[in-house]
Amino acid sequence: MSLLEALPRPQVSWRQWQPNSVLIFLACAMLAAIWLFDVVSVAPNRIVSGEGAGLIDAVGWLGALLVTSVIVTLVALALQPSRHGYQVALVGVLLLLLLMPFGLMVASNRLISGDTPGARLNMGMAYWCLLSFLLLCWVELRLRLVLLRRWTILLVLAVGLVWSLCATLGLEALALGQEFRARDAQFWRALREHITLVVVSVAISIGLGLSLTLLMRRYSKLQKSAFAILNFLQTIPSIALFGLMLGPLAWLAAQWPLLSQLGVSGIGWAPALIALVAYSLLPMVRNTYIALEQVSPDTLEAARGMGMRNSQRFWQVRLPLALPVLLEGVRITTVQAIGLTAVAALIGAGGLGSFIFQGLGQAAMDMVLLGALPILMLALMADAGLGALADVLRPRSDTARPGEIE
């Protein structure tokens, strides 16, 4: 027997050395993006296309070395994953997210001179790729660390606050900020219209969904036909549904002057609201039905043994136990409604989608982003907020999720 064979070998669990392929891929993609594509571009005005600048030209050698070092560290941590390593990786991802707006400020000072006051700084392909991959890394690390949603919300709000302060104080040359300052009153009005349509449509879908679910549970023959109709409505494209409602709503407004006075017509908020409710019913009814049916019969039988009537068992036992799953349906419905409301701008319903379609018509991508980014942020906040509320209401024994690596 040789000396090497006689030496004791350390016992290493295969889980310790199994690399995280998701993080490795995302980190390598970030490295490729920041070194192969333009990070920002500078244009003399809104019409002329900008001239791209790479990472070194935008933030200098020191900034490029810092970003590259953090990403390489992510790769090293992903090769030998552990809970402590994931925590360090999360700090690195947060650091890059917080530094990204400061990178725009540095690029603005380096690339835009004082004699070109109308120059505009645009975020390049590498910048958007880096932001997207960092958010995906955030999701992966949150799942690995089993991070509670409320902590996720606090961290996202902190990052958003830093970005907002940088955009207000030191990013006057950013093209997106210039578009906002030129249309700030129109933007806030569109944001109010967007949120109002979403809130009203979700509220109506909750009421209709709960009522329809109760009818389906009471009359079992109604279940098949109701789900068939809701599935059919879900398959109709949103623009086609808007077009189908133009004629009937215009005819109703002509026949009933009161409807016309209320603003009901073939275009505007009325067809948008009907379409949003129609699309929201299926996820709402399905989750509500599943939530009410999954309550343990033993629990209901115990409530019956305590002398509770049918109505008491429903309101005091079945509904509270079903509420976390029911809120998941509300979350899905809300996020879907936030996205679909953008399409409602095509029929004059207002909302943030108006900036998207105006920007597409004028080939102004900054105006498109002025409408698209708030929609994305609204969807993320609604998803995180309602998900956190569902986690709080869920029994503690059900909140433990697998996947945590010690």
Indicate whether 84 and 163 sit together in one domain.
yes
For residue 168, the model assigns a pLDDT of: 67
Give yes or no: residues 171 and 280 share one domain.
no
Percent share of the chain, pLDDT over 70 = 87
Residue 42 lies in a domain: yes
My answer on whether 287 and 335 are in the same domain is yes
CATH of the domain at 195: 1.10.3720.10
Query: Are 322 and 188 in the same domain?
Result: yes
**Higher pLDDT pick, 315 / 127:** 127
Q: Is residue 238 part of a domain?
A: yes
Question: pLDDT-derived band of residue 148, with 50, 70 and 90 as boundaries?
Answer: low
Q: Residue 204's domain spans which residues?
A: 184-398
215 and 349, same domain (yes or no): yes
Closest among 99, 95, 83, 96 to 141, alpha carbons compared: 83
The answer to whether residue 5 is domain-embedded is no
Number of domains in the chain: 2
pLDDT in tens, 202-261: 999 999 988 998 888 888 788 888 888 888 888 888 778 877 777 777 777 777 777 767
Does the residue 3 lie in any domain?
A: no
Residues 110 and 233 in one domain: no
Clarify whether residues 157 and 191 are in a common domain: no
Residue 6 is assigned to a structural domain of this protein:
no
Where does a domain end: 134, 152, 182? Answer: 182
Same domain, 226 and 312: yes
Residue 90 has pLDDT above 60, yes or no: yes
Shared domain check, 155 and 193:
no
Q: What confidence tens digit (pLDDT) does each residue in 174-197 have?
A: 888 788 888 888 999 999 999 999
On whether the CB atoms of residues 122 and 61 are closer than 8 A, the answer is no
Among the candidates 182, 205, 220, a domain finishes at 182
Are 278 and 369 in a shared domain? Answer: yes
pLDDT in tens, 103-120: 888 888 888 876 666 778
50 and 41 Cβ atoms separated by less than 8 Å: yes
Mean pLDDT within 4-19: 52
Among 1-15, 37-51, 360-374, 392-406, the range scoring the smallest mean pLDDT is 1-15
Residue 4 within a domain: no
Mean pLDDT of 305-325: 80
Please say which residue of 146, 163, 182 terminates a domain.
Answer: 182
